[in-house]
Amino acid sequence: MRSVVSLEEAIAEKVKDLSRDRQQQVLDFVEFLRLKERIADN
């Protein structure tokens, strides 16, 4: 039986296996997307 995993959990699982440098790149990209979204909302 397959368990249901939220999108956030799936992302966290995949990021966990990346190197520290790649994890930082993911974080930077997420922050970029959030900034872009805030600008679009204004």
* Alpha-carbon span 4 to 11, nearest angstrom: 14
* Alpha-carbon span 34 to 42, nearest angstrom: 13
Tokens of 23: 């994890």
Q: What is the pLDDT of residues 1-42, one digit of tens each?
A: 567 789 999 999 999 999 999 999 999 999 999 999 999 998
Note if the pTM is more than 0.95: no
Place of tokens 């979204």: 37
Nearest to residue 26, comparing CAs of 5, 11, 9, 4? 11
Any residues with CB less than 8 A from the CB of 15 and at least 6 apart, and which? 23, 26
